[in-house]
Structure 1
Amino acid sequence: MFLGIDLGTSGVKALLIDGDQRVVASANASLEVSRPHPGWSEQDPADWVEATRIALLSLRDSHPAEMGAVRGIGLSGQMHGATLLDKAGKVLRPAILWNDTRSHREAAALDADPQFRQLTGNIVFPGFTAPKLLWVRENEPEIFAATAKILLPKDYLRFWLTGEFISEMSDAAGTAWLDVARRDWSDALLAACGLDRSHMPVLVEGTAPAGRLRGDLAAELGLPAGIVVAGGAGDNAASACGMGTVASGSAFLSLGTSGVLFAATDSYRPNAESAVHTFCHALPNTWHQMGVILSATDAMNWLSSVVGVKPAELTGAVGGALQAPSSVIFLPYLSGERTPLNDAAIRGAFLGLGHESDRGVMTRAVMEGVAYAFRDNRDALEAAGTKLDRVTAIGGGSRSDYWLTALATVLGVPVDIPADGDFGAAFGAARLGLIAAEGADPASICLAPAIARTIEPVAKLQSAFDEGFARYRKAYPAIKGVFQ
């Protein structure tokens, strides 16, 4: 048996698979996000530990024999979060999360230093870890002075599980401190933030052993003591391992809280100006390119909270057949935007509302706006040298055929839907746990799932959506000045 643990923003998922990679059981525990000020997003790392404990105890109680047979654990987690510890390993403040935009000025200052793009291959986005530390240095100097270790969220769980300070390449690439080509911390980039290697965890590949389970926790959780904990991966790279998106040319579209267009590459091909992320993959000697939008299903969740109707009811009410876009435009910039705008200050908007703009029109506009944001990502990937022929859809939003048909039509590529199964980040983490424990060949483990069906673009509506996208592209510069 092998165990995958995925630390998300809204919850923790623990997944058991057997040696044939069949899902045996899973358990979840929820998390809340604190937003004490506009643009802030924080969580208490103690809540991560408690949610993980709840999920694992649930598996222990429901599947004791299987938990007792686990041979390896893999970790996945939300990226970029700044978890600050003192010399005793005590958490100094709530973790600043990936979607926190308070450090946009610090990000701009670091990005103006040419060595950051040169060594990381990426723009320094406000969500990355490095600018968060500059914000702490300027606004909470006593916390900065006491900081002895900086961990990413999943690596704080590793510290709890193993007592070790270890991270891996895919997650570390999102800090803005990693020399992404060399797959190592950059002393120069750390020094630019007043830090050095002593503040950072040791780095391993995602497929490598990275600590062993503590005996006291093993006894509590019903797991064998001393089992291997793999390096693991950031959530998107872990999802790619779960989807088998590891060979150059393969790609997936994640329609989750945020939106990701992810393409695996067999070489390091940065193009920071496109605002595409170029990160290390979880497998050795592989990289990936990724466009990111900050609000995907989160935009539908927001509309749901406003109108008091569940998201599934909203998307279900639009019907089955794709309709031509209306004149209403929705910009899904509820938390700012990454690819391709790199704009932390911009906010979302409905444009073109009229008396006839009912709930259904607004629901469709949200789905269309998210689809247009993905097309922005597709164009950015092409500018970075990666052309997509098709994508595989994952994430909660992929349960809506209407939304997937809109995406296929807007992107102009077929969208594949996997056969029933769990192929997300927790599954990818479990695969990494298997590889680390067994010394297995990653390529033989990280295989793509069977495709149940494919949604093709609606050819007769492509020109209408091309026109809708053109209107969408005009809207951002028209409102940008309002939020500066």
Structure 2
Amino acid sequence: MSLLAVDMGSSSCKAIAFSPDGRMLAERRQSYSPDIPRPSWAEMPAEKFWQAFQSVTRQITSTIADPIEALCISSHAETFVAVNQNRAPLSPAILNIDNRAVVEANWMAETIGLRRVFEITGLSAHPMYPIPKMLWMRQHQKEIFCSAAQFLGVTDYLLTRLGLPPHIDYSHASRFLAFDVRRRCWSEEILGVCHLTPDRFATPVPAGTVIGRLSAEVSSHLGLKSGTSVVVGGHDQPCAALGMGVTDAGRVSASLGTYECLLASSDTPSIHDAALAANLNTYCHVVPDRYVTLAYFPSGIMLDWFLQLLYGNADCSIANACAELEARAPTGPTGLCIAPHLLGTCNPDFNPHATGVIAGLRPATSAADIYKGILEGIACELGNMTELLRRASGSFSDLYITGGGCRSALGLRLRAALTKCRLHRMRCPEAVCLGTAILAGVGAGTYSGFSEAIAQLAHVADTIEPDPSVAESYRAQRQQYQLLYSSLAKMREVQAATAS
């Protein structure tokens, strides 16, 4: 038997079949692209999610011999689609990167109160979340809003395509900006102010809940056996944390990808002044009676941008190109200050007008210098996020890591030094899907509980120790990095005024 984990990302869908002992039996991926009909908008037909899900599932089932016992779907958060009584989409899904609802998010912060929103949801009012976008829809797309029976997230919507009722786990519901994370239910207070009712959303349940079995018709279409258990998955970041064994209080994971996300697990949400001041997100874990607190920033996209400049669409191995650049990089600090804010900043200020910056260029500066400088900037920013999270969640000295950033030995040495943390690289590189498979296995009874599944599946491959001498060599450059962002405040103000 095997477990099928499907992760619906914001730009691609990935499916992996795992054996009960954690071996990856097969992996398939399919990409999709958003539509940008206007500035600040990002949409995609919900059918694209369903088509991608079907495609990767059928590819997996046609590849492996072991029957799949249970299916679980995880996803990025905040994306939602308005559906009618028959659960058919009324308009394209509005994606998490869509920023059309700035006015509505500000209205929520002013009407309910920024602190009160945080006390209930563990989030700061922001246009990325679904509730402000629903308020925008009520004002600007009245017919769609009034015709909508429900507003469903990606996983809830896919459950309906599988012939099952829409359910949403607590971690995904937490990302709507209307979920009471302590009581684990839709907030009557927030929904009341927004003139919405709980029945317009999926039913919240714990991640790992079996909510049904596939019919013979649906199973046949996907290449699965009739009666396959369907288990409710969760938000990708808590799923990744589960896949790295980060469930107990005091343990912290780091996903190193396009964004770098630090996640601390705890017994209670970090709802206090320090977390609010840093705009940290704190909400329900995919593990019962646990919470997560997140700090994150754009990182890998800066490397992608630089490599695209160097190599374009040339037919070359990016891994080999990076290895060559690392081999030619200087042994000590580059003296460059590079802020990786191509998409703006996240914690603590969430400034969309911040930009990527390269300071300190000289005639002798080489491509290898800039490459290492980007890694230095990412390590400095991760050091900042680590300090924010320590102030909010308590001290820690270990990070359990996964993601594309794990492939750079140089990048890991810099991160370890500037965060003063041991970095534990996980044996399974696909932590989101592994965590999703754990949910499938716990729900289906393959494992007696989360502790058994983690002990059996979440293993460390190696550990990178922080080098104090490297940290000391970067003391001056780290100070310069801290000054760089604040020194450009006036420029950001001008950019904001020009944009408006």
For residues 181 and 300 of structure 1, do their structure 2 counterparts lie closer, same or farther at Cα, with a shift above 3 Å needed?
same
8 Å CA contact 1:275, 1:380 repeated in 2: no
Query: CA–CA distance in 2 between the matches of 1:273 and 1:423?
Result: 33
For residues 453 and 344 of structure 1, do their structure 2 counterparts lie closer, same or farther at Cα, with a shift above 3 Å needed?
same
SS of 2:160's equivalent?
A: helix
8 Å CA contact 1:72, 1:230 repeated in 2: yes
Alignment-derived partner of residue 460 in structure 1:
469
Alignment-derived partner of residue 440 in structure 2:
433
For residues 323 and 87 of structure 1, do their structure 2 counterparts lie closer, same or farther at Cα, with a shift above 3 Å needed?
farther
Query: CA–CA distance in 2 between the matches of 1:169 and 1:137?
Result: 25
Alignment-derived partner of residue 367 in structure 1:
375
Query: CA–CA distance in 2 between the matches of 1:131 and 1:463?
Result: 45
* 1:344-388 CA distance string (max 9 Å, x none): 333323233333333222222222222222222112112213322
Matched, 1:282 2:286: yes
Equivalent residue in structure 1 for 2:360, among 347, 352, 367 = 352
Alignment-derived partner of residue 469 in structure 1:
478
Query: Given the two structures, how large is their TM-score scaled by the length of structure 2?
Result: 0.90
Equivalent residue in structure 2 for 1:334, among 323, 337, 342 = 342
Alignment-derived partner of residue 199 in structure 2:
198
8 Å CA contact 1:70, 1:224 repeated in 2: yes
Alignment of 1:147-296 (within 5 A): 147-270=148-271, 271-293=275-297, 295-296=298-299
Q: Structure 2: which amino acid aligns with 1:266? A: D
The number of residues matched between the two structures is 479
8 Å CA contact 1:86, 1:147 repeated in 2: yes
8 Å CA contact 1:133, 1:193 repeated in 2: no
Alignment-derived partner of residue 450 in structure 1:
459
8 Å CA contact 1:243, 1:423 repeated in 2: no
8 Å CA contact 1:4, 1:427 repeated in 2: yes
Query: CA–CA distance in 2 between the matches of 1:302 and 1:40?
Result: 22
Alignment-derived partner of residue 60 in structure 2:
59
8 Å CA contact 2:414, 2:470 repeated in 1: no
* 1:74-107 CA distance string (max 9 Å, x none): 1110111122222232222322222333333432
Distance apart, 1:166 and its partner CA: 0.7
Give the CA RMSD over aligned residues.
2.2
SS of 2:68's equivalent?
A: coil
8 Å CA contact 1:82, 1:133 repeated in 2: no
Alignment of 1:101-180 (within 5 A): 101-112=99-110, 113-114=112-113, 115-180=116-181
8 Å CA contact 1:260, 1:290 repeated in 2: yes
8 Å CA contact 1:3, 1:430 repeated in 2: yes
* 1:366-420 CA distance string (max 9 Å, x none): 222222222221121122133221112200121111111111111111111123x
Query: CA–CA distance in 1 between the matches of 2:24 and 2:245?
Result: 16
Equivalent residue in structure 2 for 1:298, among 297, 301, 324 = 301
* 1:298-344 CA distance string (max 9 Å, x none): 22222223333565355323325874333332222222222112223
For residues 367 and 39 of structure 1, do their structure 2 counterparts lie closer, same or farther at Cα, with a shift above 3 Å needed?
farther
Alignment-derived partner of residue 20 in structure 1:
21
For residues 188 and 77 of structure 1, do their structure 2 counterparts lie closer, same or farther at Cα, with a shift above 3 Å needed?
same
8 Å CA contact 2:326, 2:372 repeated in 1: no
Distance apart, 1:178 and its partner CA: 0.7
8 Å CA contact 2:283, 2:291 repeated in 1: yes
Query: CA–CA distance in 1 between the matches of 2:76 and 2:495?
Result: 28
For residues 209 and 379 of structure 1, do their structure 2 counterparts lie closer, same or farther at Cα, with a shift above 3 Å needed?
same
8 Å CA contact 2:403, 2:430 repeated in 1: no
Gaps of 5+ in 2: none
Query: CA–CA distance in 2 between the matches of 1:367 and 1:36?
Result: 34
8 Å CA contact 1:77, 1:153 repeated in 2: yes
* 1:197-253 CA distance string (max 9 Å, x none): 111100110021133324322011221223221121100111112111111122111
For residues 296 and 311 of structure 1, do their structure 2 counterparts lie closer, same or farther at Cα, with a shift above 3 Å needed?
farther
Alignment-derived partner of residue 80 in structure 1:
78
Q: Structure 1: which amino acid aligns with 2:392? A: A
Query: CA–CA distance in 1 between the matches of 2:475 and 2:102?
Result: 32
Query: CA–CA distance in 2 between the matches of 1:139 and 1:351?
Result: 43
For residues 389 and 92 of structure 1, do their structure 2 counterparts lie closer, same or farther at Cα, with a shift above 3 Å needed?
same
For residues 147 and 328 of structure 1, do their structure 2 counterparts lie closer, same or farther at Cα, with a shift above 3 Å needed?
farther
Query: Given the two structures, how large is their TM-score scaled by the length of structure 1?
Result: 0.93
Identity of aligned residues (%): 24
Q: Structure 2: which amino acid aligns with 1:288? A: V
Q: Structure 2: which amino acid aligns with 1:21? A: G
Matched, 1:9 2:10: yes
Q: Structure 2: which amino acid aligns with 1:286? A: R
Distance apart, 1:36 and its partner CA: 3.7
SS of 1:384's equivalent?
A: helix
8 Å CA contact 1:322, 1:405 repeated in 2: no
For residues 340 and 200 of structure 1, do their structure 2 counterparts lie closer, same or farther at Cα, with a shift above 3 Å needed?
same
Larger RCO (CA under 8 A, 6+ residues apart): 1
Q: Structure 1: which amino acid aligns with 2:135? A: L
Query: CA–CA distance in 1 between the matches of 2:494 and 2:361?
Result: 19
Gaps of 5+ in 1: none
8 Å CA contact 1:82, 1:132 repeated in 2: no
* 1:262-281 CA distance string (max 9 Å, x none): 11112222232221110100
Matched, 1:312 2:319: yes
8 Å CA contact 2:402, 2:429 repeated in 1: no
Distance apart, 1:182 and its partner CA: 1.0
Distance apart, 1:134 and its partner CA: 2.6
